[in-house]
């Protein structure tokens, strides 16, 4: 499976979980949910429709397998988003929705990646409903997706499949209200997650694109986001506009953001030029630093890009996220940390 598809599907953690199963030589010799998942993952890199077919067959045989159902829902929505034929796109979105509906019926609390893909699946369902002329149902589904953390308003504005829904007079107010409700709901989840996360120290002293030294100590007393990223990384690029908007919104309240750029190709001067060009095009006003190949080693269990660290005013990492994070969740984390009293008060 290609690393790009893994990033798109958000399957890194699942792949790690399957590692021990993949090491068992007898696994594929007998029917099992694990064997079906492994077979689907192997097929997905080159033939996503084949992988979906494998998972559909597996779901009939193992209707309670969480991994099978999740992958079927996730891969179906990804394939639907890439399908040009309208009828096929509608069918795939409905298939994804049905899979996640089944996942919800299993009774366990959704994991973060499951919840994230369920929100994405709901937007796919909204697109299908809109194409079928069911605009009110489509709008209701968009609102549900927002409660699950989906907040890519730009995609809602540009998606052709949703043209009919955007014409509804209540569309914009409904979406904005859903976004605010999503933040309120996610703040409760974030507070619990932070309370259960063991804080750890982190530090850096690196050069920015103008060769000026920047250290974590420069952000003392601020709630700081450290984004470990690369311009080559699609999820990283998708996340950047959220950081730009949130810094404008919360800078006066004590938020700072710094990006640590990793694994860019070229000489140091070429890398600096690449970052500067990206920052200019995307209106990035926070400092972007060049990695010294030691940053990842300072992050416990570093998995990939983007890795986002959320530091409180004392400089301790209170939460770490891997992969693309919707704006509503980012905002909920920022608001939660900013609400904490400064040390000594």
What are the tens digits of pLDDT across the range 275-303? 999 999 999 999 999 998 788 888 988 88
Residue 328 has pLDDT above 90, yes or no: no
Query: CA of 321: how far to CAs of 10, 238, 250, 324, in Å?
Result: 12, 15, 20, 8
How large is the average pLDDT for residues 234-257?
95
How large is the average pLDDT for residues 82-100?
97
More confident residue, 133 or 294: 133
pLDDT at 343: 58
pLDDT at 107: 80
pTM: 0.70
3-185: which CATH topology? 1.25.40
pLDDT band at 168 (very low <50, low <70, confident <90, very high): very high
pLDDT band at 2 (very low <50, low <70, confident <90, very high): very low
Q: How much of the chain, in percent, has pLDDT values that exceed 70?
A: 90
Domain boundaries, the chain: 3-185, 197-339
Residue 119 has pLDDT above 50, yes or no: yes
* 238: Cα separation from own chain's centroid: 9
Q: According to CATH, what is the number of the domain 197-339?
A: 3.40.30.10
How large is the average pLDDT for residues 195-205?
91
Task: Tell which residue, 65, 120, 121, has the closest CA to residue 95.
Answer: 121
- Output the six-digit token pair for 21: 């199963």
How large is the average pLDDT for residues 71-84?
94
pLDDT at 12: 44
pLDDT at 341: 80
Spatial distance between the Cα atoms of 55 and 2, rounded to a whole number of angstroms: 19
* Mean pLDDT of the residues in the chain: 87
Task: Tell which residue, 195, 196, 217, has the closest CA to residue 206.
Answer: 217
pLDDT band at 17 (very low <50, low <70, confident <90, very high): very low
Bridge-partner residues for 260, per DSSP? 228, 289
């Amino acid at each position: 499976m290609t690393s790009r598809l893994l990033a798109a599907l958000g399957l890194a953690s699942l792949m790690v979980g399957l590692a021990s199963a993949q090491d068992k030589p007898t696994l594929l010799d007998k029917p099992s949910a694990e064997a079906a998942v492994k077979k689907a993952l192997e097929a997905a890199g080159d033939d996503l429709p084949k992988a979906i077919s494998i998972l559909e067959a597996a779901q009939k045989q193992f209707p309670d397998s969480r991994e099978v159902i999740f992958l079927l829902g996730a891969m179906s929505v990804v394939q639907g988003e890439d399908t040009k034929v309208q009828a096929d796109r509608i069918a795939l979105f409905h298939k994804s929705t049905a899979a996640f509906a089944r996942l919800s019926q299993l009774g366990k609390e959704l994991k973060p990646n499951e919840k994230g893909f369920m929100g994405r699946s709901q937007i796919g369902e909204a697109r299908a409903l809109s194409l079928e002329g069911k605009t009110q149902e489509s709008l209701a589904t968009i609102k549900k997706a927002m409660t699950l953390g989906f907040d890519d308003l730009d995609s809602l504005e540009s998606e052709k499949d949703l043209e009919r829904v955007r014409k509804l007079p209540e569309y914009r107010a409904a979406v904005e209200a859903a976004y605010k409700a999503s933040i309120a709901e996610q703040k409760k989840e974030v507070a619990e997650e932070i309370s259960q996360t063991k804080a750890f120290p982190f530090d850096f002293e690196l050069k920015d694109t103008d060769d000026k030294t920047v250290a974590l100590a420069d952000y003392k007393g601020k709630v700081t986001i450290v984004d470990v990223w690369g311009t080559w990384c699609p999820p990283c690029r998708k996340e950047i506009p959220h950081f730009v908007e949130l810094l404008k919104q919360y800078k006066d309240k004590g938020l700072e953001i710094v990006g640590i750029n990793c694994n860019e190709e070229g000489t140091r001067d070429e890398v600096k030029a690449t970052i500067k060009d990206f920052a200019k095009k995307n209106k990035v006003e926070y400092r972007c630093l060049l990695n010294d190949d030691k940053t990842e080693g300072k992050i416990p269990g570093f998995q990939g890009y983007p890795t986002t660290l959320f530091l409180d005013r004392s400089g301790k990492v209170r939460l770490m996220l891997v992969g693309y994070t919707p704006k509503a969740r980012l905002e909920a984390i920022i608001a939660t940390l900013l609400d904490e009293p400064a040390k000594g008060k």
